[in-house]
Chain A
Amino acid sequence: QKEVEQNSGPLSVPEGAIASLNCTYSDRGSQSFFWYRQYSGKSPELIMSIYSNGDKEDGRFTAQLNKASQYVSLLIRDSQPSDSATYLCAVNSGGGADGLTFGKGTHLIIQP
């Protein structure tokens, strides 16, 4: 069973600080990685995708991937109260019924 692990939180971060969300995965053959944001009662919303080792930046968000360590993270700079949500990590392990495995999510709270 391919696994994606996230700390469930809650992770509490002061407004304006950097929020760091982490995800580890079990399948070394995983090829693509996604971060989704989900507000309570809403559907997952894609934030970032990352396919290669290193950093990928988009506005206040930076995704970091380290395939050797089987680790992917999401940094949120200048955190805002509107960033308070559950963040889901999703990993593609190569298609088929196992194709995209989601972690259970980290609940992030930005404190004003």
Chain B
Amino acid sequence: NAGVTQTPKFQVLKTGQSMTLQCAQDMNHNSMYWYRQDPGMGLRLIYYSASEGTTDKGEVPNGYNVSRLNKREFSLRLESAAPSQTSVYFCASSEAGWDYEQYFGPGTRLTVT
């Protein structure tokens, strides 16, 4: 089992460009999450999907959109990248909901210039 996979590993964008971060899990988990991690700020939730077909905003959703494509895949889209979105992005999944352990992907390091 690969667990949670993310692509790409690294990305550099210019301000205003768009991109989609991909995430997939092979653990048959129902819930998936997108976090960003910034120095001194800790991990912050961007969006989550409690189950296939549902998505909800987290703590810092502005500037992002998500799609839960199927049970395995959950993508994060930046429509018009800004330097404030320079961060490390992690996808995670759990069996079902907040009481369950979350497992993280390897992350995407994004720089917006």
Contacts and interface: CB of A to CB of B under 8 A. Distances in A.
Contacts of B42: 88, 102-105
A32 interface: yes
Contacts of B102: 34, 46, 90, 100
Nearest to B58: A97
Interface residues of B, number: 23
Contact of A43 (B90, B97, B101): B90
A100 B98 contact: yes
A45 interface: yes
A43 B105 contact: yes
A92 interface: yes
B57 interface: yes
Interface string B70-113: 00000000000000000000100000011101111111000000
B98 A32 contact: yes
